[in-house]
Amino acid sequence: MSKILRNTCRTLFKETPTNLKGRKKSSQEWLTRQLKDPYVEKSRLENYRSRSAFKLIEIDDKFKFLRPGNIIIDCGASPGGWTQVAAQRCNADGKDTNSDIGTVVGIDLIRIHPIPGTILLSPMDFTKVSTQEKIQQCLNGKPVDVLMSDMAPNATGVAVLDHERIIDLVVQALRFALQVSRPGGSFLAKIWNGAQMQNLMNELERFYQTVHIVKPPASRKDSAEIYFYCQGFKGLKARPSQ
């Protein structure tokens, strides 16, 4: 096993808000940005729980990996924007009677309010073995088509440390994906830019036919986040007998 796996390493309010007395500068800047963000308003109009839903929509529109009948795991799912998109695109609620019905399992430390047609495990810690066993029980051992990770640690503000911590989460998601994915399956994970990107990419290329680095338009330009989209899971080669 390689080192990285071993160590785990709308615009509805166009004016600038003025009633911000008593708020810290960072809070004011965040609120101003939210009110001016077209994706925030678009998420309200289209009933998505978060603007991040459009990141997944844009990535899937490009690579088309979410399909009717898919079995999908969404790690770091709260508040549920990605889970909503996945459920729609895999026909989890069976509304499209002419298409196969998919399954979506969403997991997060924070409680997720119900989403029609989905299985939600919250509050639960994905990194715990017991949670991963519960996911497999929910799927009755069926192989997974897509494992997605939008997990992120609580940011410390120290870029190097935050990068290492999110890499650790991605590696844990990858380890699980290697156990449960079907051959040809896909893996999508968010990371924050940093020194271990190339090591992670090298690791992903061991297990997937193609690895893409993606920054969808909905991802803010000043954000360090990027996504690795991996397609064509190669499967795990059986180890020789001892």
CA 183 to chain CA mean position, Å: 20
3-state secondary structure 45-78: HCCCCCCCHHHHHHHHHHHCCCCCCCEEEEECCC
Q: What is the pTM of this model?
A: 0.83
What percent of the chain clears pLDDT 90, i.e. is strictly above it?
76
46 vs 34, 43, 129, 199, CA distance in Å?
Answer: 17, 5, 36, 38
| Per-residue confidence (pLDDT) for residue 7, from 0 to 100 | 45
What is the per-residue pLDDT across 142-195, written as a single tens digit (0 to 9) for each? 999 999 999 999 999 999 999 999 999 999 999 999 999 999 999 999 999 999
| Per-residue confidence (pLDDT) for residue 44, from 0 to 100 | 85
What is the per-residue pLDDT across 24-36, written as a single tens digit (0 to 9) for each? 555 555 455 555 6
- pLDDT over 60 at 61, yes or no: yes
- DSSP 8-state code for residue 153: P
What is the per-residue pLDDT across 194-225, written as a single tens digit (0 to 9) for each? 999 999 999 999 999 999 999 999 998 889 99
CA dihedral for 91, 58, 157, 49, sign (positive or negative): negative
Strands 181-192 and 208-214: what pairing? Answer: unpaired
- pLDDT over 60 at 9, yes or no: no
Secondary structure element (H or E) that encloses residue 208, with its range: strand 208-214
CA atoms within 13 A on the CB side of 124: 19
What is the per-residue pLDDT across 93-115, written as a single tens digit (0 to 9) for each? 999 999 999 999 999 999 999 99
* Cα separation, 108 vs 75, whole angstroms: 6
CATH topology of domain 3-9+50-233: Rossmann fold (3.40.50)
* Cα separation, 103 vs 139, whole angstroms: 8
- pLDDT over 60 at 68, yes or no: yes
| Per-residue confidence (pLDDT) for residue 36, from 0 to 100 | 63
> Residue 232: which region, alpha, beta or left (left: phi > 0; alpha: psi -120 to 50)?
left
| Per-residue confidence (pLDDT) for residue 110, from 0 to 100 | 97
- pLDDT over 50 at 64, yes or no: yes
- As annotated, the active-site residues are 190
* Cα separation, 201 vs 199, whole angstroms: 5
42 vs 45, 52, 101, 113, 232, CA distance in Å?
Answer: 5, 11, 27, 20, 32
Kindly report each contact of residues 218-226 with a partner whose C-beta sits within 8 Å and lies 24 or more positions away, as own/partner.
Answer: 218/39, 218/51, 218/52, 218/54, 218/55, 218/57, 218/58, 219/55, 224/159, 224/192, 224/193, 224/194, 225/190, 225/191, 225/192, 225/193, 226/190, 226/191, 226/192, 226/193
Residue with token string 């299985």: 119
| Per-residue confidence (pLDDT) for residue 29, from 0 to 100 | 53
| Per-residue confidence (pLDDT) for residue 239, from 0 to 100 | 38
